[in-house]
Structure 1
Amino acid sequence: MDIRQLEYFLAIVDHGGFNRAASALYVSQPSLSQAVQSLERDLGTALFHRIGRRAVLTEAGTALIEPAREAVRSMATARSSVAAVHELRTGRLDIASMPSPAVEPLTSMIRAFSSRHPGVSVIIRAAFTQQDVIDMVRTGSAELGLLTTPGPLSDKDVVSHPVGEQGFVLLTPPDGPFPADKPVACEQLAGHRMIIVQRGTAARAYVDGLLERGIDLTIAAETEHRVSVLPMVLAGVGVAVVTDSWRGMAERAGAMVLDLEPNTVLRIVLTSRRAELSPAAKAFLTCAFTTDTEE
């Protein structure tokens, strides 16, 4: 068994099949298949059920995912430690982030980090809920995670690094139903069409809370694609509750951004795994807390 075989195995898992994994790795499918077959011989068991062109994990394959990630991450840490001697001239850092903090403060964090370590590539992994971020950091598919949470994190497998706070705002079209110079009371949303995002997010919990209070909202659209919220608002589909990190982008796009009353404060938290961090992850944390990341 070697680290390359484990990397190939994880690529098949992450990309959903041999063809996509081979394309992502820039290797031929026969080479990929041979490497996996060699790994299966070493382990004495099949890792995938081959069903036509599909590859479905066996029970043994599922059990291998987490130790394989740890082994690959440990090797990456070893390689990065060597690169650190050369002041992080090369390397890679995987960060899992929820959509809203990926707008800000992550953009400012990456700008600061890249200005100091331009040779290190930052890979942003999509995570739609707080638990998604924690799971990706805990299992090693990302080394750092950025999330928002209404309260303290209880997961014992990750380390929390508080970054700041943000609240919610209301996005409306420029000719929207509310005056531009006044906060919007939640009760004023009654009767209006609302664009909402998926369950498990703080913005969805805020809207669900309004419905539970008896505020009569009409759900115009529900989307898992957070990037579609602003275009739908500008197109007049409805109004939307989002975190304040969207303010600058929304205003530049022409939307009206209004404060909400009452509001909810969310904590912005960087998370890291409890194992030894790579030099790139350590450097990113240093940049995150020594650089002004105002929205």
Structure 2
Amino acid sequence: MDVRQLEYFLAIVDHGGFNRAASALYLSQPSLSQAVQALERDLGSSLFHRIGRRVVLTEAGTALIEPARAAVRSLETARASVAAVHELREGCLDISAMPSQAVEPLTTMIRAFTARYPGVSVNIRAAFTSRDVVDMVRTGAAELGLLATPQPLTDKEVVSHAAREQRFVLLAPPDGPFRAGRPVTCEELAGQRLIVGQRGTGMRAYVDSLRERGIDFAIAAETEHRVAILPLVLAGVGLAVVTDSWRSAAERAGALVLDIEPRTTLRVALISRHAEQSPAARTFVTCALEAIRH
């Protein structure tokens, strides 16, 4: 078994089949199949069920994913450590981020980092909940993660670097029920139609907590696509509770952004693995935290 075979195995998993993986790896499909067959012989177990042109992971294949990612990530870290002598002139850094935090503070973080190290490419991986971000970092699918939670994370699974707090605000159309410049109380949301995100997100947990407190409202729309929220608000479908990372973009689009009282916040954190980090990851954490604290 070698790391190249593990990279091929993960490419099949990530791209959903041999043909797509071969194209992504610039390999012939027979060469890829032979490499996987050699890996299966070494392991003494089949990794995929071949069903026509489709492949489905076996139980052994599923069990291999996490250690394979860890092995590949360790090799990438070793390669990047050697490249560090060239002062990060090239390379790639994978960061998983929740949608709202990918707007801010990730934009500020990446701007500070790429200004110093323009040769390093930052790859942003989508994650919809804080649990998704933690799992991607823990398993090596991403080296760093950016998330927001009501309470600080423990360092049991990942290392957490506190970044900032984001308060909840209300997005409303300019001709909506509330006046610009005036905070809205939680109680005033009673009877309103709200656009909400998926369960597992901080914004959805906040809205659900209002109902638990006896504040009754109607759900006008529920969406996993965070980019749909602002257009739906501007179209008059309903109001939306989001974090203030949306403020600048929403105001430019013409929406009202109103503070909600009492003030409630999420804690934003940059997370990393307990294992050794690549030079790019270590440097990004330093640059990112400096950028948002000044």
Q: What's 1:187 paired with?
A: 187
Tell me, yes or no, if the aligned pair for 1:109 and 1:293 is still in contact at 8 Å: no
Q: What's 1:130 paired with?
A: 130
Q: What's 1:29 paired with?
A: 29
The Cα shift of 1:227 comes to 0.9
The Cα shift of 1:36 comes to 1.4
What is the TM-score when the length of structure 1 is the normalising length?
0.96
Q: What's 2:55 paired with?
A: 55
CA distance change for structure 1 residues 49 and 189 in 2, over 3 Å: closer, same or farther? same
Listed one character per residue, the Cα deviations across residues 144-188 of structure 1 (whole Å, up to 9, x for unaligned) are 110001112135121010001111010011222100010011111
**Equivalents in 2 of 1:192, 1:20: separation in Å?**
47
**Equivalents in 2 of 1:2, 1:38: separation in Å?**
10
Q: What's 2:177 paired with?
A: 177
Residue 81, structure 1, aligned to residue 81, structure 2: yes
**Equivalents in 1 of 2:76, 2:210: separation in Å?**
46
Mapping of residues 42-191 of structure 1, within 5 Å: 42-154=42-154, 156-191=156-191
Q: Match of 1:69, as an amino acid?
A: R
Q: Match of 1:123, as an amino acid?
A: N
The Cα shift of 1:293 comes to 6.1
Listed one character per residue, the Cα deviations across residues 116-146 of structure 1 (whole Å, up to 9, x for unaligned) are 1111111111111111111111111111110
The Cα shift of 1:87 comes to 0.6
**Equivalents in 2 of 1:86, 1:225: separation in Å?**
40
Q: What's 1:201 paired with?
A: 201
Q: What's 2:273 paired with?
A: 273
Q: What's 2:260 paired with?
A: 260
The Cα shift of 1:29 comes to 2.9
Tell me, yes or no, if the aligned pair for 1:133 and 1:145 is still in contact at 8 Å: yes
**Equivalents in 2 of 1:293, 1:155: separation in Å?**
22
- Structure 1 runs of 4+ aligned residues shifted over 4 Å read none
Q: Match of 2:272, as an amino acid?
A: S
The Cα shift of 1:214 comes to 2.0
Tell me, yes or no, if the aligned pair for 1:108 and 1:293 is still in contact at 8 Å: no
The Cα shift of 1:236 comes to 1.2
Residue 229, structure 1, aligned to residue 229, structure 2: yes
Tell me, yes or no, if the aligned pair for 2:168 and 2:259 is still in contact at 8 Å: yes
Q: What's 1:249 paired with?
A: 249
**Equivalents in 1 of 2:261, 2:267: separation in Å?**
18
Bigger mean CA deviation after superposition, 52-61 or 202-211: 52-61
Q: Percent identity?
A: 76
Q: Please, which runs of 5 or more residues in structure 1 have no aligned partner?
A: none
SS of the residue corresponding to residue 160 of structure 2 reads: strand
**Equivalents in 1 of 2:159, 2:292: separation in Å?**
22
**Equivalents in 1 of 2:102, 2:11: separation in Å?**
24
Mapping of residues 5-24 of structure 1, within 5 Å: 5-24=5-24
The Cα shift of 1:91 comes to 0.7
SS of the residue corresponding to residue 178 of structure 2 reads: coil
SS of the residue corresponding to residue 96 of structure 1 reads: strand
**Equivalents in 2 of 1:186, 1:179: separation in Å?**
15
Tell me, yes or no, if the aligned pair for 1:12 and 1:20 is still in contact at 8 Å: yes
The Cα shift of 1:37 comes to 1.7
**Equivalents in 2 of 1:24, 1:236: separation in Å?**
43
Count how many residue pairs are aligned between Structure 1 and Structure 2. 294
SS of the residue corresponding to residue 86 of structure 2 reads: coil
Q: What's 1:217 paired with?
A: 217
Listed one character per residue, the Cα deviations across residues 38-61 of structure 1 (whole Å, up to 9, x for unaligned) are 211222211011122221111111
**Equivalents in 2 of 1:36, 1:264: separation in Å?**
51
**Equivalents in 1 of 2:8, 2:175: separation in Å?**
52
**Equivalents in 2 of 1:255, 1:15: separation in Å?**
39
Tell me, yes or no, if the aligned pair for 2:154 and 2:160 is still in contact at 8 Å: no
Tell me, yes or no, if the aligned pair for 1:194 and 1:220 is still in contact at 8 Å: yes
